[in-house]
């Protein structure tokens, strides 16, 4: 069935890119209802939008020619309400739940997802009040696409540039499809952790975060609410995913523990460092003082803490086991982790086949047995794992789509 999107434009230089968003949505077969804030028309012309969409541009709630309440009628028609661009002022008004113009009243009456594509000067984005407003909106379930790091209107560069139209359109189309994981809330960890030795050195590992980011991307694409706790990695945040960046195992533990009660599934794909230096030197260790004897101490085992702290069956726990050795040994280690950490599913993989690679081969190990998949791209493996989780949560695991084993 064809979809309808209310495209709300607010007053930012990036408003010209909303024209391209409207055009691309139209090309994808989406009906676009353009809505302007009062200041949007100072940046772009309503005629451009009505010409591209074939729909009148709405700005005021007080249009006497419109039968009934305009915001309610638009909300009824729209599968997604998208704010492109969303200024700092619009984010603030949305976070307060105001309904003092058509755009905010429409957001309050939305029956489906609300999505924002922020656009502002980097100092405005970094301001504590904007940070607070964005956190409030995220907690309310508003989806963010961007902003991204790049050149902004002032000629400066920084975080605050609006995402590119194609990325915004993907996120809108994603939001318009309920997907088979709709209603599920997932917490995914990804990447390595860095354990500081001194202000310039750390202990780390070679995890790229690609598998965890693929899981987060595919879960969001399939309709789940996804929170991604990421160690230091170079991957871009997938559309519709709420990302929290951490550095050390202890920071990752705090972020996971904070979210665990609010999620249905935790997937620990991060390569959490097992050890950290016992003490972090406040100043740089000097070569002239000789090679230091590093004393290490054990990090908390986040997955084991989740498994052993569970009273019922929620959240559903998926662990990873990154090993070296023959298949039989890798599977035996995974079985041991399944029992010791009290988790529901372990994804076992081989370091040589996985680290930094775009493809991988995995063994899914649970109480009922072992299933091997791949080598295939990590996105396809993410789908296999997610289908398995969905099946387990529904009580009967349907056969996962086998990309090729």
Subset of residues 332 to 361 that bind ligand CTP, contact rule: CB under 6 A: 337
Which residue's CB is nearer to ligand CTP, number 84 or number 272?
Answer: 272
Which of residues 117, 320, 383, 390 is near ligand CTP by CB under 6 A? 320
Which residue's CB is nearer to ligand CTP, number 96 or number 324?
Answer: 324
Using alpha carbons only, what angle is made at residue 133 by residues 130 and 137, rounded to the nearest 5 degrees? 135
Residue 268 in contact with ligand CTP, rule: CB under 6 A: yes
Residue 208 in contact with ligand CTP, rule: CB under 6 A: no
Torsion on CA atoms 303, 390, 374, 340, rounded to nearest 10: 30
Using alpha carbons only, what angle is made at residue 404 by residues 399 and 405, rounded to the nearest 5 degrees? 85
Residue 186 in contact with ligand CTP, rule: CB under 6 A: no
Q: How far is the CB of 337 from ligand CTP (least distance, A)?
A: 6
Q: Residue 11 in contact with residue 39, Cβ under 8 Å? A: yes
Q: How far is the CB of 294 from ligand CTP (least distance, A)?
A: 18
Q: Residue 264 in contact with residue 279, Cβ under 8 Å? A: no
Q: How far is the CB of 1 from ligand CTP (least distance, A)?
A: 40
CA-closest candidate to residue 215, choices 352, 388, 331: 388
Q: How far is the CB of 270 from ligand CTP (least distance, A)?
A: 5
Which residue's CB is nearer to ligand CTP, number 197 or number 270?
Answer: 270
Q: Residue 197 in contact with residue 212, Cβ under 8 Å? A: no
Contacting range for ligand CTP; rule: CB under 6 A; set: 23-31, 195-203, 313-321, 373-381: 313-321
Residue burial 67-95, b: 16+ Cβ < 10 Å; e: rest: eeebbebbbeebbbbbbbbbbbbbbbbbb
Q: Report the C-alpha gap between 24 and 65 in whole angstroms.
A: 30
Residue 303 in contact with ligand CTP, rule: CB under 6 A: yes
CA-closest candidate to residue 165, choices 306, 52, 271, 264: 52
Residue 274 in contact with ligand CTP, rule: CB under 6 A: yes
Cis peptide upstream of residue 304 (ω within 30 degrees of 0): no
Residue 205 annotated in active site = yes
Residue 316 in contact with ligand CTP, rule: CB under 6 A: no
Residue 196 in contact with ligand CTP, rule: CB under 6 A: no
Which residue's CB is nearer to ligand CTP, number 337 or number 350?
Answer: 337
Q: 68 — alpha (psi -120 to 50), left (phi > 0) or beta? A: left
Residue 319 in contact with ligand CTP, rule: CB under 6 A: yes
Which of residues 249, 330, 338, 364 is near ligand CTP by CB under 6 A? 249
Residue 301 in contact with ligand CTP, rule: CB under 6 A: yes
Q: Is 54 exposed, middle or buried (0-12, 13-18, 19+ CB in 10 A)?
A: exposed
Which residue's CB is nearer to ligand CTP, number 104 or number 269?
Answer: 269
Which residue's CB is nearer to ligand CTP, number 90 or number 271?
Answer: 271
Q: Residue 271 in contact with residue 203, Cβ under 8 Å? A: no
Q: How far is the CB of 219 from ligand CTP (least distance, A)?
A: 16
Q: How far is the CB of 234 from ligand CTP (least distance, A)?
A: 19
Q: How far is the CB of 273 from ligand CTP (least distance, A)?
A: 7
Which of residues 19, 30, 241, 272 is near ligand CTP by CB under 6 A? 272
CA-closest candidate to residue 219, choices 190, 191, 260, 248: 190
Which of residues 168, 322, 330, 364 is near ligand CTP by CB under 6 A? 322
State the first-to-last Cα distance of the chain, in angstroms, to the nearest integer.
Answer: 35
> Any idea which residues carry the catalytic annotation?
205
Task: List contacts with ligand CTP (CB under 6 A).
Answer: 249, 268, 270, 272, 274, 299, 301-303, 319-322, 337
């Amino acid at each position: 069935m064809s979809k309808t999107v209310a495209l709300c434009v607010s007053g930012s230089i990036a408003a010209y890119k909303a024209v391209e968003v409207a055009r691309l949505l139209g090309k994808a077969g989406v009906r676009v209802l353009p809505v302007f804030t009062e200041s949007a028309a100072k940046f772009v012309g309503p005629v451009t939008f009505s010409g591209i969409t074939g729909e009148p541009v709405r700005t005021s709630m007080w249009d006497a020619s419109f039968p009934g309440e305009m915001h309610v009628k638009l909300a009824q028609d729209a599968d997604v309400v998208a704010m492109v661009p969303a200024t700092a002022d619009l984010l603030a008004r949305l976070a307060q739940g105001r309904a003092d113009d058509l755009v905010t009243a429409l957001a309050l009456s939305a029956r489906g997802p609300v999505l924002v594509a922020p656009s502002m000067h980097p100092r405005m984005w970094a301001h504590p009040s904007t940070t607070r407003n964005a956190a409030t909106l995220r907690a309310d379930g508003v989806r963010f696409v961007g902003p991204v790091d790049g050149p902004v209107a002032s000629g400066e560069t920084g975080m605050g540039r609006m995402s590119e139209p194609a990325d915004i359109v993907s996120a809108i189309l994603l939001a318009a499809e309920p997907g088979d994981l709709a209603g599920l809330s997932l917490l995914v960890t990804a990447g390595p952790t860095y354990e500081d030795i001194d202000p310039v050195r750390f202990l780390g590992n070679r995890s790229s975060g690609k598998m965890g980011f693929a899981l987060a991307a595919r879960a969001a694409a399939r309709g789940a609410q996804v929170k991604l706790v990421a160690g230091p990695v170079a991957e871009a945040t997938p559309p519709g995913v709420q990302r929290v960046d951490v550095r050390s195992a202890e920071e990752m533990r705090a972020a996971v523990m904070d979210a665990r009660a609010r999620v249905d599934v935790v997937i620990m794909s991060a390569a959490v460092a097992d050890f950290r230096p016992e003490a972090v030197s406040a100043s740089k260790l000097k070569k002239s003082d000789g090679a230091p004897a590093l004393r290490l101490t054990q990090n908390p085992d986040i997955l084991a803490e989740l498994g052993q702290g569970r009273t019922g069956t929620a959240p559903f726990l998926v662990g990873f086991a990154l090993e070296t050795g023959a298949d039989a040994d890798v599977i035996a280690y995974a079985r041991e982790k399944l029992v010791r950490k009290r988790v529901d599913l372990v994804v076992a993989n081989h370091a040589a086949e996985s680290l930094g690679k775009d493809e991988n081969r995995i063994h899914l190990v649970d109480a009922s047995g072992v299933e091997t998949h791949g080598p295939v791209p990590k996105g396809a493996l993410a789908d296999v794992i997610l289908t398995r989780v969905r099946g387990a949560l529904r009580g009967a695991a349907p056969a996962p789509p086998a990309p090729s084993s």
